[in-house]
Structure 1
């Protein structure tokens, strides 16, 4: 696009296709010819006068919406806008009156009573008001299109921002999880544990799920539960008989979709803060399909009081809360409670 076109179009929010411009002006021209032809009972005169005036209408309208408004209204220079608009209207009045006198009729104001002269106050006001009507009509249409365009663009931008932040948050979960698991694997290798190879295999399966299977914003709940089971198996390899876990499913989950990797941080915390050394780690996980089109997730584990005073926190839970806010706005419920020596997480989310 040339510099001239850039200069004239850079401040417009939307570009209306040319065919709509042509359709609008053609329809408006026909309407005006019929309207004034009927008024004067002289359609030939109406056709000639509109052929003279319509190119001038088009010039002043586009000059206003593509130059004056972007240059002065959008920059809040209202006095200059009024000055240049009035000056443009007076120039147009002079050209229109001259052309009508030379090409159409010597009576420059046939709708007025009696013989009227050009460049009188009443005639100038009447013509300028007529032009202002056209300018205001088309400007309102253009600004309406711009408003719709900007609204849609803002909505799309918000969606892009949301998706970008969600992708970032999801990507943060993966290194967070791998970091913890590799630390565990490192501890097992130091102990020369026989279960270290099995840990590597389980970790490989989980990496395949995260890196290759999780590509959509929502995945089947069934797949996510299988992933959670793999994680529990991984922790059982690490802790051995110290881990007691079970998953309970209530309702039909076949067609339910959930955000990937949403529940894992809560389950990770069961092992990270679950119990003191050499004590049993008990984890109970439940998924329940509720009647109000909600999915309820619960995880309960025996609680280590040391967790209260531990000031070092991971990014997992904070990450999940932010994801929930972005995905579901205020349509989710997250509660955490401590009962005796048990830590309970309850999460309700809308069913997708």
Structure 2
């Protein structure tokens, strides 16, 4: 009963809008054709039609659709056969005075003797059955479309949550490798790197609620990661980065850009060439690019690289459909990534 009440509550508004339109249309048509609206007769007619409509809508049709396809066909055929047979059997003869007077003055002569049992079960019944069946399946289609949309949203949310969980451990693993490299050579910068990494970890953990983050905070986090890597590669001076734009006015998915920066440092061979990172923001359009040279290591450990990139692509598809363009170039020694993202 609770489910039935909820269904009635969600559908009654536009159902009754349709009924009101039909009633007024019938009254206007009767008045224009017969010169009389036959108000009381139409009231009775629509009360009967509404009762038959909702008996079919809420009781008969839900019962039928719960059956197997074979039973549905059998029930439908039996109902049609019995209905047509009874309609033919109970079809009343046309009154002689109607045959004599029809048509009169170019107008149709209405049924003047009230509503008979035949009218209730056949004329009004056919209208109510067809009308309620059509509306029932339209409502079911709308309801199923909403369920599919809700399930798709739930699927995307679950998928995005999984992607976030995959990215974060992958990132920390690479960052810890950097600290490990410094600890081996007993670098004096190791405590400082650990402190910076703790700030990055705090940033990541504070953004696990699924919300987008301020772009300026995201850029600051990327700068901290670059600082860690710059300390690690302190013998090289060919790490270049350039950030330009009013980042505080926009939001972005946390760690979305860091994946590309992380991969660039992980596979970069700074002896072969520079590592360049550029982030420009203008009018809500983010232009992000990373370029690095690499050696054989990327082929030996290419699986992790592909996983991070593929996860980022999936996040872009889920969060920014139709609002980004991602180009990746690989010429066997140089790797380029360019992402144009509309943050408006």
Q: What is the deviation of 1:59?
A: 3.5
Structure 1's 230 and 134: CA in aligned 2 closer, same or farther, altered over 3 A?
same
Structure 1's 203 and 17: CA in aligned 2 closer, same or farther, altered over 3 A?
same
List per-residue Cα deviations over 1:1-31 (Å, max 9, x = no partner).
Answer: 4xxx66x789x7x853556666765775676
Give, in whole Å, the separation in 2 of the partners of 1:337 and 1:321.
15
**Alignment partner, residue 178 of structure 1:** 172
Give, in whole Å, the separation in 1 of the partners of 2:334 and 2:253.
27
Q: What is the deviation of 1:179?
A: 1.7
List per-residue Cα deviations over 1:95-140 (Å, max 9, x = no partner).
Answer: 9x9xxxxxxxxx998995479xxxxxxx959962442123323443
Structure 1's 305 and 198: CA in aligned 2 closer, same or farther, altered over 3 A?
same
Give, in whole Å, the separation in 1 of the partners of 2:274 and 2:9.
63
**Alignment partner, residue 60 of structure 2:** 68
List per-residue Cα deviations over 1:257-311 (Å, max 9, x = no partner).
Answer: 33221111211122211127xx4873211123468x6422111123224423445
Whether the 8 Å contact between 1:297 and 1:347 is mirrored in structure 2 is: yes
Which sections of structure 2, spanning at least 5 residues, go unmatched? 102-116
Whether the 8 Å contact between 1:69 and 1:81 is mirrored in structure 2 is: no
Determine helix, strand or coil for the equivalent of 1:270: helix
Q: What is the deviation of 1:331?
A: 4.6
Query: Please, what is the CA RMSD of the aligned residues?
Result: 4.3
List per-residue Cα deviations over 1:192-248 (Å, max 9, x = no partner).
Answer: 443222122111110121111464543332222111100011122333333642322
**Alignment partner, residue 333 of structure 1:** 325
TM-score by length of 1: 0.72
Structure 1's 271 and 88: CA in aligned 2 closer, same or farther, altered over 3 A?
same
Whether the 8 Å contact between 2:56 and 2:132 is mirrored in structure 1 is: no
Structure 1's 199 and 94: CA in aligned 2 closer, same or farther, altered over 3 A?
farther
Residue 248 (structure 1) aligned with residue 242 (structure 2): yes
**Alignment partner, residue 267 of structure 2:** 273
Whether the 8 Å contact between 1:286 and 1:299 is mirrored in structure 2 is: yes
Give, in whole Å, the separation in 1 of the partners of 2:74 and 2:97.
33
Whether the 8 Å contact between 1:284 and 1:301 is mirrored in structure 2 is: yes
Determine helix, strand or coil for the equivalent of 1:240: coil
TM-score by length of 2: 0.73
**Alignment partner, residue 199 of structure 1:** 193
- Please identify, of 129-138 and 332-341, the stretch whose mean Cα deviation from structure 2 is larger: 332-341
**Alignment partner, residue 84 of structure 1:** 79
Give, in whole Å, the separation in 2 of the partners of 1:17 and 1:284.
59
**Alignment partner, residue 350 of structure 1:** 342
Q: What is the deviation of 1:337?
A: 2.5
Structure 1's 42 and 109: CA in aligned 2 closer, same or farther, altered over 3 A?
farther
List per-residue Cα deviations over 1:71-107 (Å, max 9, x = no partner).
Answer: 3357542341243366579889999x9xxxxxxxxx9
Give, in whole Å, the separation in 1 of the partners of 2:98 and 2:10.
38
Residue 220 (structure 1) aligned with residue 214 (structure 2): yes
In the alignment of these two chains, the number of paired residues is 324
Structure 1's 274 and 40: CA in aligned 2 closer, same or farther, altered over 3 A?
closer
Residue of 149, 173, 179 corresponding to 1:155: 149
